[in-house]
Amino acid sequence: MELSNQKLSDFFCDLHIHVGGTMTGKPVKITASRSMTLTCILEEASERKGMDMIGIIDAHSPEVQEELQLLMQKGEVTPHTDGGVLYKQTMLILGCEVEIKEENRGEAHFLCYLPDLARMREFTHWLSQRCKNVQLSSQRIRTTLRELQEAVAAWDGVIIPAHIFTPHKGLYGSCTDSLAEVADPAMIHAVELGLSANTEMADRLSELHDKTFLTNSDAHSLAKIGREYQMITMRERSFQEWVMALKREAGRGVKVNYGLHPQLGKYHQTACQSCQSLLPADPEGRCPQCGFKRVVRGVSARIEQLADLPPGDHPAYRPPYVEQVPLEFIPGVGPKLKEKLYQKFGTEMSVLHRTSQNELAAIAGERIAGMIVLAREGKLEVKAGGAGTYGKVLEPKDKA
């Protein structure tokens, strides 16, 4: 069927998910759960989280590629002619996270996405000549960002800077004050905000006004899949359609960003890495509370430092940002209750977006149902996180 004859539809998408281990038990992302195999991720995303499209950004790893090839041979996944691989109700986009350290700058992470397994294998060969262990995730590669851009473009891929404001390997948090200093901005169609920033904060940088904003989970465990995601308007789920959405072509685009409440992120506010005390924006010197010398500058302080626009100045196309509070952040929602909610209502997307308060109360009780609805409406109060520690949702009894 011609694309012009298909109507546009909306899809839930989370495009930054790590593989923790292979079928044989070898590590891929060292800090991720070993239960995060390719097959387990696909099953969780499709059957429990309700994601229409996901990006696995360790698809460069040879043993992950072997597992994907095996699933193809079994007929459990089906390659799409326009890129991507379909598993049950979920389209898989193949990606890879790499680390680059430009000369005299801090390191930063970048997400590279390619249309199909054949081109990802070629990319793996290219990477293997520039890094120590191509089996592992997020490896530092011996290249520049501009050279990486050219290589990925040659395979019809796209590059997205990852968690751009975080002090730990974010583009602005660790590497540069301006995208043009290290990259060709015209080849960057989108950036990933990260868990500690939202649209209101990021749009204070005028150079980002022509970039699509993405809100992805950066999941290191199955439970974290979908803690951030977006609703993307496309004609169908495929790599080609997704790239058109990043470029906002022919009616495609991000319709809603469902991002974590920024204060729940690990790096929202400047804080001491030792005692976790929240501190003023200036990270210089020792912590005044405990004397520890490692103070981590928060995302909010970094954006304030770089901002050249006042709050509230957004490009016309910018979609709404809905402050998302995943089920795992709701006090009292543990694994057993989540399982009951999944059994009754299908997926986490159904619980968070479609199920009424009365229906939720019948399974979870009035208090938790009320908190889920408040989260849906962006009315929950939170305590800010910093220095690598997540913020937390405050229950009414915590407010005092």
CATH topology of domain 8-262: TIM Barrel (3.20.20)
Phi, psi of 90 (to 5 degrees): -125, 135
Q: Which of 96, 317, 84, 303 is nearest to 193 (CA)?
A: 303
Q: What is the pLDDT of residue 295?
A: 58
pTM of the model as a whole: 0.87
Q: What is the pLDDT of residue 381?
A: 77
Q: Which of 312, 310, 345, 309 is nearest to 327 (CA)?
A: 345
One pLDDT digit (tens) per residue for the chain, 400 residues: 344 457 999 999 999 999 999 999 999 999 999 999 999 999 999 998 999 999 999 999 999 999 999 999 999 999 999 999 999 999 999 999 999 999 999 999 999 999 999 999 999 999 999 999 999 999 999 999 999 999 999 999 999 999 999 888 999 999 999 999 999 999 999 999 987 889 999 999 999 999 999 999 999 999 899 989 999 999 999 999 999 999 999 999 999 999 887 767 666 666 666 676 666 655 566 676 676 556 576 788 889 889 999 999 999 999 999 887 778 888 888 889 988 998 999 888 888 888 999 999 999 999 999 888 888 777 777 766 655 667 677 775 544 3
Q: How far apart are CA 331 and CA 228, in angstroms?
A: 18
Q: How far apart are CA 120 and CA 56, in angstroms?
A: 12
Query: What residue ranges do the domains of the chain occupy?
Result: 8-262, 264-296+328-393
Q: What is the pLDDT of residue 177?
A: 96
Q: What is the pLDDT of residue 330?
A: 86
Listed as own residue / partner, the contacts of 345-354 with beta carbons closer than 8 Å and 24 or more positions apart are: 346/50, 347/47, 347/48, 347/49, 347/50, 348/48, 348/49, 348/50, 348/226, 349/12, 349/49, 349/50, 349/51, 349/226, 350/50, 351/327, 352/324, 352/326, 352/327, 352/376
Q: What is the SS3 string spanning the chain?
A: CCHHHCCCEEEEEEEEECCCECCCCCECCCCCCCCCCHHHHHHHHHHHHCCCEEEECECCCHHHHHHHHHHHHHCCCEECCCCCEEECCEEEEEEEEEEEECCCCCEEEEEEEECCHHHHHHHHHHHHCCCCCCCCCCEECCCCHHHHHHHHHHCCCEEEECCCCCCCCCHHHHHCCCHHHCCCHHHCCEEECCCCCCHHHHCCCHHHCCCEEECCCCECCHHHCCCCEEEEEECCCCHHHHHHHHHCCCCCEEEEEEEECHHHCCCCCCEECCCCCECCCCCCCCCCCCCCCCEECCHHHHHHHHCCCCCCCCCCCCCCEEEECCHHHCCCCCHHHHHHHHHHHCCHHHHHHCCCHHHHHHHHCHHHHHHHHHHHCCCCEEECCECCECCEEECHHHCC
Rounded to 10°, the helix 62-74/117-128 angle is 160
Q: What is the pLDDT of residue 377?
A: 76
